[in-house]
Amino acid sequence: MDVYGLVGNPVGHSLSPPMHEAAYDHLGIDARYVTFEPAATDLEAAIDGARALGVAGLNVTVPFKEAVRDLVAVDDLAARVGAVNTVDFSGSEPTGHNTDVEGVRRAFAHHDVPLAGERAVVVGAGGAGRAVAFALADADARVHVANRTVETAESLAADVGATAHALDELPALVGDADVLVNATTVGMDAPDQSPVPADALHGDLAVLDAVYTPLETRLLRDAGAVGATTVDGAWMLLFQGVAAFERWTGRDAPVEAMNAALRARL
Count of other CB atoms within 10 angstroms of residue 222? 19
Contact characters 22-51, ligand NAP, x per CB under 6 A: ------------------------------
Tell me whether residue 51 or residue 148 sits nearer to ligand NAP (CB atom).
148
Among 74, 125, 174, 223, binds ligand NAP (CB under 6 A): 125
Q: Which residues of 182-209 are buried (b: 16+ CB within 10 A; e: fewer)?
A: bbbebbbeeeeebbbeeebbeeebbbbb
Closest residue to bound ligand NAP by CB: 126
- Cβ atoms 236, 259 nearer than 8 A: no
Site for ligand NAP in 208-227 (CB under 6 A): 210-212
Distance CA 260, CA 151 (A): 39
194 part of the interface to ligand NAP, by CB under 6 A:
no
67 contributes a contact to ligand NAP by CB under 6 A: no
3-class secondary structure, 207? strand
Q: Does 110 bind ligand NAP (CB under 6 A)?
A: no
CA–CA distance, 67 with 36 (Å, rounded to integer)? 16
- Catalytic residue, candidates 20, 65, 142, 218: 65
Q: Which stretches of 57-141 are assigned E, i.e. beta strand?
A: 57-60, 73-74, 86-88, 95-97, 119-123
Considering only the stretches 74-82, 119-127, 138-146, 197-205, report the one whose residues sit in contact with ligand NAP under the rule CB under 6 A. Answer: 119-127
* Residue 134 in the binding site for ligand NAP (CB under 6 A): no
Residues in contact with 168: Cβ distance below 8 Å, sequence separation at least 6, in sequence order: none
Specify whether 114 is catalytic: no
| List of residues contacting ligand NAP (CB under 6 A) | 103, 124-129, 147-149, 152, 183-186, 188, 195, 210-212, 233, 236-237, 240
**Catalytic amino acids?**
65
